Structure 1
Amino acid sequence: MDKLIISSEKNKVYLQGNIYKILNKRHLHHISRVFNGEIESNKITIGNLQDDELIISKLSDFLKRKNISYDLDQESDDRLKDLYQEEKNFREFSMKAKSIWNNVINLNEFSDFQNVLHKNMERKLYPLQLLSAFHLAYSQNACNFSVPGAGKTSIVYGAFSYLNSLEKDHPKFVDKILVIGPLSAFGPWESEFEECFGTEIDAKRISGVNLNNQRKKTYFFSRNPSDLTLISYQGVINQKENIEYFLKNNNVMVVLDEAHKIKNTSGGQIAESILSIAPYCKGRVVLTGTPAPNGYRDLYNLFKFIWPKKDVIRFSPIQLDDMTKSITDARINVLIDNLSPYFVRIKKSDLGLPEKIEHPPIIVEMDERQKWIYETIEKKYIESFKNEESDYNDTFLSKVKKAKLIRLLQAATNPKLLNKPIIDEFGNDFSFRDIDIIDQKFIQEVLSYVEDKIVPAKFLKAYEIIKNIIDNKEKVIVWAVFINTILEFQEFLISKGVNCKILYGKTPIESEDMAEDIETRESIIRDFHDENSDFSVIIANPFAVAESISLHKACHNALYLERNFDAARFIQSKDRIHRYGLDPNIETNYFYLMANNSIDETINTKLIEKENLIIRVTESQDIPLFLNLEDDTENDIKALIKDYERRSKKPS
């Protein structure tokens, strides 16, 4: 068989042999374009080898992918031989990593790993957690795309426990963890450490107004930094140089939590900052349950971080975009196979969770005034939706339509919310005067609803359900969409003698030098888990806390006061109380309040439909795509119009 001979001298690589017989025109064009190869007779010259390792990696990968045989010339310099051998070693390493996740393992190595974890960890990992941790400990650089509730934090701590047990001069030894993630994740990383190892963690949060840049620099340059350091993605931008020093002078495993935040391949500050520190990490871990929310391009930076000097993804961002457009693209299977050694994924069905109880929606009848307000606003908006049906691609009109949906949601729960501009709830994007009904009678009805301090029907029904739950010595989390719903419902429950706490965007997160008497997200969650807690109810907003809290050990009831069409947030909120670690005998209950003959009915139907689709996709794909759920406003509105027309035909 004809082979290409790879040789090098003076920072150049040569491909020699029967070039025109071994390589076709497409091969030659690729080598010329990608590697700047100069073709002459039976030799191709590739110069400018400033990054030898990456060029050799890409070149050997290309030749292998095209089934083109190649070898090293006996006279090649030692440097190229070393690089060639390194590529061979990396391929062997990758095959072993892939085999581990396929449960083909060296039993002696796995036994040693288990013994270390048994000795060092209080928490016992379940089999797939153990295998994931073993894969990470072997790989030292890996992605974990497991579903929420699979215990990704414990997996990281399991791998860390093993790597930390190695001799200090071992190339894989680590003794520090740097977690980069949302502020809301800091508390769980600290509490999970204590549960995993049975001891308090020496942790440092690089956040808070009282921690100025000089103090941050002093910490990163310290000779004795904490075992666990936590910083936000935004915080990395201004601390790149300090973090780089920290990584160079310590044995640090760097964890990207909710890592999809670095997906921007077009020069985003966060992504560029994270990728710039990647070469200095002793270990690299990517954690996200949604690795490709907008398509396969989102994977590019994740694997570039994991292996900054290896082209493991082997496709360009533009090619990844093309693959996203067609689920039948044959390259998708090649992509997944390329990446399979470097990621693990535990599905929901792998967790063996006890069945949850989805109670039928609880129909709530609006009082007459609320009903009139709702029907008036719904009729006007349905007419406008029909008239604007062809304009969904217009950005401004799209936002107006979303704002109108918000108004309908508010009217179905609590008409008092109509008295406040939407800007208070969702920011400037939704402050459109033309969405509101300028009608004196309508305005007067809303104002009188506020002035008469009418308690919405949903509040009364929710109180009835909550009272029954807490009378049975159980706890409940109440989910609501709107901030003012949360605040008003808390006030209502307290007036009924039900002590409760709230978690939403403005609930403070613990930070450096914060006064002890300030009630924070972490302190509320800690108190909620206490058997002797003086409250059994939390009211929360899924936009703020759906991703970051675990309540399954304390709470087995969730009540949805109001919902919107956002299926991803809805599922995340449900997962807060239905996670690995539940006693098989525990019943997890979900209660849904639904205003009769309203948008709530459409939301309920659409959420069931979307949830089933998400489950189907996540259970069937190694790297699931949810493109048709990203912004489904058009179909949501069509479903609402259809339901409205059906309801309008009902006899009154």
Structure 2
Amino acid sequence: MSADPVTIGIQYLPGKLSGRLVLEGSPSTSVWERLQQTVINLGFDYSFGPGSIELSWSGVLTLIGQFAPQQKHLDFRFSPRDDDARDKIAAFVQQFKQVQHSKGSLKLRITPEEIEERLFASGFTRELRPFQLRDLQRLLSLENGANFSVPGAGKTTVTLALHLLTRQPNQVLLVIGPKASFPAWREVVSECVREDAPDGNAEPFTFLTTSGEALSEALRSGATRFVLSYDLMIQTSEIITEFMSQHPVHLVLDEAHRMKAGYGSQRGSLLLNLAPLPIRRDILTGTPMPQQPSDIQSQLDFLWPGAGLGLQISRGTAPRQVLGELYVRTTKQDLNLPEPLRHFRSVPMAEGQMALYGIVKHEFLRQVSTLGLDGRFDAPAARRSVMRLLQLSANPVLALRSIADDAIKMDSGILEQVISEGPSTKMRAVADHARQLAAEGKKSVVWTIFTDTIQQMEVMLADLNPVSLYGAVPSGEPTDPETREGRIRRFHEDPSCMVMIANPAAAGEGISLHKVCHDAIYLDRSYVTTHYLQSIDRIHRLGLPPGVETNIYIYRTLAPMGLGCIDHSVSHRLRQKLRALQILLDDADLHRIALDEENSEDPIAWDISPDDVRDLIEVLEGRGSLPDEESE
């Protein structure tokens, strides 16, 4: 008779939200060593003891999902050792099978007619559009859901309807998102549900803004709908964890791409460890993969802990193949929005700016040239150099400050030239464009990634009575002119306020400008796809008046031939990321945006050679002769 297979017992540790694997007997195979090595490779927090492995319950489920199919081959078996572990593993196995089945062909469980009938009975009064009904029907057929629809498609409305239709007794709805998403959640119940709706369905959201005992009291108040910021979630993780472990929670992550760093960040690590607790999980984001395929890995592991979807991404499987039918997306084509017009405009550098750009570019190449030569690479310094080149492209006076901070050697002649030139030619061109639009009665939004540049543009465009939005502008009441909401209100209602100057990282989410503004001007752009796409969506979204033309103007600095243009690099990387996102989401609009980037002319001044730039530097440093002196 053959020996019985080795047993690996599984215990659930509720106080820690973790689990323990216990080796029972001596393994005749290498399974125990394989389990230990997998725990180390996947980056989980863990502790090894004699014949035991303790790690998060999400990690336990990941190991089960990865090793359960190999039990016969490796001559071992998993065996739950307590009722909690047995129940949780059974629920995981059921969900695992549903995920694998639904990836290829999602079986719809409810008709659109039944959805409308049940929503009406729940007091839901807003008439859903066909694409919203379609997305809701698919989400109701999934245990957990991903809504990747474009901004303005009604993800908040669909999520509230989903909650009403999946709500269980005593269930709590907890939404975690950036503060910019709060206004949508503040208004959605009153806009969608009648006041006398049954079963408390008209309950508004309670916004959690305090910590400590005040937060605990708010959670115990009897309210069942909460909104919490990502930052406060991290600060109060123990309270939130305890609450979720004791209550049936439907957890929604708004702008879920913010957890893309996974275990590499506090936010991602906490959410991944919390993932097994809610009775339902949903993620909302229009840009699930803003930078690279790994961005979506942690989001999938949050939605379906242990199902191995994130692991497949990490091993190089195409995200589209991994996701299959496990998400919904409404595109701008579904919204029947007219395609925006994108215009690329190149502006030449002034002489001082060109000389300074050449020196900083040389310094950047010197820093990165060590990569692979001696094993050392100063990544932070390289990142600073990239940001400095972006600054130089738009606002060289701003770049001088960071150059001084890093003590880069710079001749006074070049510094004096840059300072004497003042605002860059690109800043002047953007300001002139905003004035031209204002003269035609058109409001515009100017996007730039640097706060100092926003403030300088405010001064340059003071005649247009501008408002500005950036990270330091606080949220508050619309009646307060110094708050984010107050500034947005002034842009909408004050006829003399003709321009908004904003940072896409701070103002790319949670605001709508499409009723009063149809022209966006980009002074500069970063490498982050999310910032670019979401900033466009501020003026190009559902509710756009018919017959209105939306214009996107992208200003790029014209760099000398051979010197290389940072704006060209940004455009190149954005289109690569847009292509990857397009393939994942099968979105024609993303194809058109990427195509526009590909078809735009390179911002290169072909008539200026590297020798011309070197000569210019020598002249400004006092080492060369001016042309008119040579001719004498």
Same fold per TM (> 0.5)?
yes
Distance in structure 1 (CA, Å) of the matches to 2:612 and 2:420: 30
Letter in 2 for 1:574: I
Letter in 2 for 1:111: E
Distance in structure 1 (CA, Å) of the matches to 2:393 and 2:65: 62
Residue in structure 1 matched with residue 465 of structure 2 by the alignment: 499
Residue in structure 2 matched with residue 591 of structure 1 by the alignment: 553
Flag structure 2 segments of 5+ consecutive residues without an equivalent: 12-27, 38-50, 74-82, 196-201, 588-601, 614-626, 628-632
The answer to whether residue 334 in structure 2 is matched with residue 356 in structure 1 is no
The answer to whether residue 223 in structure 2 is matched with residue 239 in structure 1 is no
Deviations 1:157-178 (A, max 9, x none): 23123335xxxxxxx4576432
CA distance 1:337–1:590, change in 2 (3 Å): closer
Residue in structure 2 matched with residue 479 of structure 1 by the alignment: 447
Structure 1 position 519, deviation (Å): 2.1
The answer to whether residue 166 in structure 2 is matched with residue 187 in structure 1 is no
CA distance 1:384–1:291, change in 2 (3 Å): same
Letter in 1 for 2:471: G
CA distance 1:476–1:422, change in 2 (3 Å): farther
Aligned to 2:552, the other structure's residue is in SS state: strand
CA distance 1:47–1:357, change in 2 (3 Å): closer
**Equivalent residues in 2 for 1:147-162 (5 A)?**
147-148=150-151, 150-162=153-165
Distance in structure 1 (CA, Å) of the matches to 2:91 and 2:388: 61
Residue in structure 2 matched with residue 328 of structure 1 by the alignment: none
Aligned to 2:283, the other structure's residue is in SS state: strand
Letter in 1 for 2:355: T
The one of 485, 494, 504 equivalent to 1:542 is 504
CA distance 1:198–1:448, change in 2 (3 Å): farther
Distance in structure 1 (CA, Å) of the matches to 2:536 and 2:177: 22
The one of 544, 569, 576 equivalent to 1:582 is 544
**Equivalent residues in 2 for 1:289-438 (5 A)?**
289-291=286-288, 299=296, 301-308=298-305, 311-313=306-308, 321=314, 323-324=315-316, 332=317, 340=324, 342-346=326-330, 351-361=335-345, 363-364=346-347, 371-385=350-364, 390-392=369-371, 397-421=378-402, 431-434=405-408, 437=410
CA distance 1:534–1:153, change in 2 (3 Å): farther
Aligned to 1:556, the other structure's residue is in SS state: strand
Residue in structure 2 matched with residue 633 of structure 1 by the alignment: none
Distance in structure 1 (CA, Å) of the matches to 2:61 and 2:401: 62
Residue in structure 2 matched with residue 440 of structure 1 by the alignment: 412
Residue in structure 1 matched with residue 572 of structure 2 by the alignment: 609
Structure 1 position 432, deviation (Å): 1.4
CA distance 1:552–1:28, change in 2 (3 Å): farther
Distance in structure 2 (CA, Å) of the matches to 1:579 and 1:373: 41
Residue in structure 2 matched with residue 22 of structure 1 by the alignment: none
Aligned to 1:343, the other structure's residue is in SS state: coil
**Equivalent residues in 2 for 1:250-261 (5 A)?**
252-261=249-258
Residue in structure 1 matched with residue 429 of structure 2 by the alignment: 461
Structure 1 position 304, deviation (Å): 4.1
CA distance 1:542–1:156, change in 2 (3 Å): same
Letter in 1 for 2:328: V
Deviations 1:515-552 (A, max 9, x none): 9646222332344344x665232100123222443333
Q: Identity, % of aligned pairs?
A: 27
Residues 87-96 or 181-190, more deviating: 87-96
Q: Is the CA contact 1:118–1:124 (under 8 Å) kept in the aligned structure 2? A: no
Distance in structure 1 (CA, Å) of the matches to 2:128 and 2:155: 11
Structure 1 position 10, deviation (Å): 11
The answer to whether residue 132 in structure 2 is matched with residue 129 in structure 1 is yes
Structure 1 position 408, deviation (Å): 4.6
Distance in structure 2 (CA, Å) of the matches to 1:445 and 1:50: 60
Distance in structure 2 (CA, Å) of the matches to 1:605 and 1:50: 46
Aligned to 1:284, the other structure's residue is in SS state: strand
Distance in structure 1 (CA, Å) of the matches to 2:492 and 2:437: 16
Distance in structure 1 (CA, Å) of the matches to 2:428 and 2:206: 44
Distance in structure 1 (CA, Å) of the matches to 2:64 and 2:57: 10
Distance in structure 2 (CA, Å) of the matches to 1:480 and 1:29: 56
The answer to whether residue 438 in structure 2 is matched with residue 470 in structure 1 is yes
Distance in structure 2 (CA, Å) of the matches to 1:558 and 1:256: 29
Letter in 2 for 1:443: L
Distance in structure 2 (CA, Å) of the matches to 1:442 and 1:347: 49
Residue in structure 2 matched with residue 202 of structure 1 by the alignment: 204
Aligned to 2:517, the other structure's residue is in SS state: coil
Deviations 1:143-164 (A, max 9, x none): 3344555443333123123335
Aligned to 1:139, the other structure's residue is in SS state: coil
Aligned to 1:557, the other structure's residue is in SS state: strand
Residue in structure 1 matched with residue 583 of structure 2 by the alignment: 620
CA distance 1:640–1:403, change in 2 (3 Å): farther
Structure 1 position 236, deviation (Å): 1.9
Deviations 1:602-626 (A, max 9, x none): 35544443343333322223599xx
CA distance 1:593–1:54, change in 2 (3 Å): closer
Structure 1 position 572, deviation (Å): 3.3
Q: Is the CA contact 1:145–1:344 (under 8 Å) kept in the aligned structure 2? A: yes
Residue in structure 1 matched with residue 22 of structure 2 by the alignment: none
Q: Is the CA contact 1:221–1:246 (under 8 Å) kept in the aligned structure 2? A: no
CA distance 1:341–1:565, change in 2 (3 Å): closer
Aligned to 1:231, the other structure's residue is in SS state: strand
Structure 1 position 352, deviation (Å): 4.1
Q: Is the CA contact 1:563–1:603 (under 8 Å) kept in the aligned structure 2? A: no
Q: Is the CA contact 1:254–1:285 (under 8 Å) kept in the aligned structure 2? A: yes
Aligned to 2:565, the other structure's residue is in SS state: helix
Q: Is the CA contact 2:393–2:566 (under 8 Å) kept in the aligned structure 1? A: no
CA distance 1:641–1:400, change in 2 (3 Å): farther
Q: TM-score, normalised by structure 1?
A: 0.68
Aligned to 2:185, the other structure's residue is in SS state: helix
What is the count of residue pairs matched by the alignment?
Answer: 555
Deviations 1:175-201 (A, max 9, x none): 643221222322343245555558897
Aligned to 1:486, the other structure's residue is in SS state: helix
CA RMSD of aligned residues (A): 5.1
Deviations 1:242-271 (A, max 9, x none): 324544665542112233444455475433
CA distance 1:198–1:524, change in 2 (3 Å): farther
Q: Is the CA contact 2:445–2:517 (under 8 Å) kept in the aligned structure 1? A: yes
Aligned to 2:471, the other structure's residue is in SS state: coil
CA distance 1:140–1:591, change in 2 (3 Å): same
Structure 1 position 231, deviation (Å): 2.0
Distance in structure 2 (CA, Å) of the matches to 1:83 and 1:552: 47
Distance in structure 2 (CA, Å) of the matches to 1:60 and 1:419: 54
Q: Is the CA contact 1:97–1:138 (under 8 Å) kept in the aligned structure 2? A: no
CA distance 1:403–1:566, change in 2 (3 Å): same
CA distance 1:459–1:338, change in 2 (3 Å): closer
